[in-house]
Structure 1
Amino acid sequence: MARTPKPLPSLEWLKPRLTFSRVASLSSFFALAGVLLGWNLWFAAIPGKLLWVILALQLIPLLLLAPGLLLGHARAHAWACFVVNLYFIQGVLAAFDPSKALYGWLLALLSLALFCAALLYTRWRFQYDRKLAGE
């Protein structure tokens, strides 16, 4: 039994969805970085040099993804879906501690938003590129 390929959506249908998902992924990406930075600098009582080590360990994965996300590469958005799971786990674990509950919920919600937006952008970007190629 041969499978019939599913038709690709039109370019007019894909363009606004690409724009929305890219804006949503970039805004949740920067909000996630801001929450991490703000929590560690102002609210977490971490002494001196240890603060910079923790900040580096938390922000380096995001900094590695930043150029690809800013340029709109679909593969960088796909990798963001993998990396952001670490922040989701950290957020869920922090949400169980009453002193870090707000931080944990913010981290979990922002990472979930980034995951969904980046996943949709990746899907629609590959469909858009296939449609442009004449498929």
Structure 2
Amino acid sequence: MTDATAPTMRQKYMRIKTVFLMGYAALLALFIFWNISRPSGFNITILLIQCVPLLAFLPGILQNHYRTYSWVCFIILFYFVKAVEGAFASTANFTDGIFIGLTVYLFVCAMMASRWAQRMLYQD
């Protein structure tokens, strides 16, 4: 790419934010799926424990605060540890692999979004 056709920092950030939000929604959907398909039935308490830490950062993400993405990276690490633990359990299934993939995906997207949001802030 030449400099004339290279995407600006704002364009890069908006793309990664969109990709991040898609993964974010997919992870929340996975939690909902798990809770609906539980043998013991739907449990709103467990769903809230899984979703509230992620949903707490949604206002900052929507307001384009780069530090929010850094905090999301830290929170995603806890989810990653739980995903790896679940994937190596004797009761693991395909959703555990999806859980690992989504946490890695979100971590990388959050890192890049944080970096590009900060650069965008200083370039404007």
Shorter-chain TM-score category? Answer: 0.7 to 0.9
The counterpart of 2:40, out of the listed 28, 38, 46, is 46
Deviations 1:2-55 (A, max 9, x none): xxxxxxxxx95313311221111111111001101111212x22356xx22211
Gaps of 5+ in 2: 1-5
Cross-structure match for 1:7: none
Structure whose alpha-carbon radius of gyration is higher: 1
Task: Give aligned pairs, total.
Answer: 119
- Look up the equivalent residue of 1:46 and give its one-letter code: S
| TM-score using structure 1 length | 0.78
Contact preservation (8 Å) 2:76, 2:103: yes
- Look up the equivalent residue of 2:23 and give its one-letter code: S
Q: How does 1:7-46 map to 2 (within 5 A)?
A: 12-42=7-37, 44-46=38-40
SS of equivalent to 1:125? helix
The counterpart of 1:60, out of the listed 28, 36, 52, is 52
Gaps of 5+ in 1: 1-10
- Look up the equivalent residue of 1:18 and give its one-letter code: Y
User: Which structure has more helix as a fraction of its residues?
Assistant: 1
Q: CA separation in 1, counterparts of 2:19 and 2:109? A: 6
- 1:120 maps onto 2:112 in alignment: yes
Q: CA separation in 2, counterparts of 1:121 and 1:36? A: 23
Q: CA separation in 1, counterparts of 2:32 and 2:11? A: 31
SS of equivalent to 1:31? helix
Identity %: 25
- 1:129 maps onto 2:121 in alignment: yes
The counterpart of 1:97, out of the listed 89, 104, 119, is 89
